[in-house]
Amino acid sequence: MERLLVLASSSPWRRQLLERLGLPFLCHSPEIDETPLPGETVKATALRLSEAKARALAGAYPDALVIGSDQVASLHDRPIGKPGNHAQACQQLAAQSSQVVDFHSGLCLLDTASGLCRSVIETTRVHFRPLSESQIERYLQAEQPYGCAGSFRAEGLGIALFERIESRDPTALVGLPLIALCGLLKEAGMDVLDLTGPAQPSA
């Protein structure tokens, strides 16, 4: 019997990525505290929050596969948050100019029937171009990515800020590593390539 698949996220970008697999799924936004714990590494934060998001929906979906994902960015091992406003975004991009920023994408697949949780983390290294003040200003005016960690949207014009990207999975930077997810789904008995038929719209 095909299992119910639930994406624990309100992100339109994660939803669009999951739609690529052609599987029917539901979206449900979890309510969790995303504050890092004292002394917690950025990788540990990403893994913990991805699992917390999935577990937050376990009561609502007692027999489902729930996908939780969270991303934490870091520069010189220090976390980078969402700028929230133009001035902070200018500071972030200026600090990232000519630098390497790591994006740690935690991924969890929770089987709510058994309680089994499968987790992985994918790290993407982004090498930024040297950026002038005028380039930063023009970019921010164009996309206003004030709700995005690192102050850019890689799926948009933000790609022009980079010299190169090092990643095992090109979808990880956007926030949902599909290669890893396909592996976790297969382990859980849902092989994406064995499921046939037209994709159904997500709810």
SS (H, E, C) the chain: CCCEEEECCCCHHHHHHHHCCCCCCEECCCCCCCCCCCCCCHHHHHHHHHHHHHHCCCCCCCCEEEEEEEEEEEECCEEECCCCCHHHHHHHHHHHCCCEEEEEEEEEEEECCCCCEEEEEEEEEEEECCCCHHHHHHHHHHHCCCCCCCCCCCCCHHHHHEEEEECCCCCHHHCCCHHHHHHHHHHCCCCHHHCCCCCCCCC
Domain residue ranges of the chain, discontinuous segments joined by +: 4-194
What is residue 1's predicted lDDT score, i.e. its pLDDT?
A: 52
The whole-model pTM stands at 0.88
The catalytic residues are 70
pLDDT tens, N- to C-terminus, the chain (203 residues): 578 999 999 889 899 999 999 999 999 999 999 888 999 999 999 999 999 999 999 999 999 999 999 999 999 989 998 999 999 999 999 999 999 999 999 999 999 999 999 999 999 999 999 999 999 999 999 999 998 889 998 888 999 999 999 999 989 998 899 999 999 999 999 999 887 554 444 44
The CATH fold assigned to 4-194 is Maf protein (3.90.950)
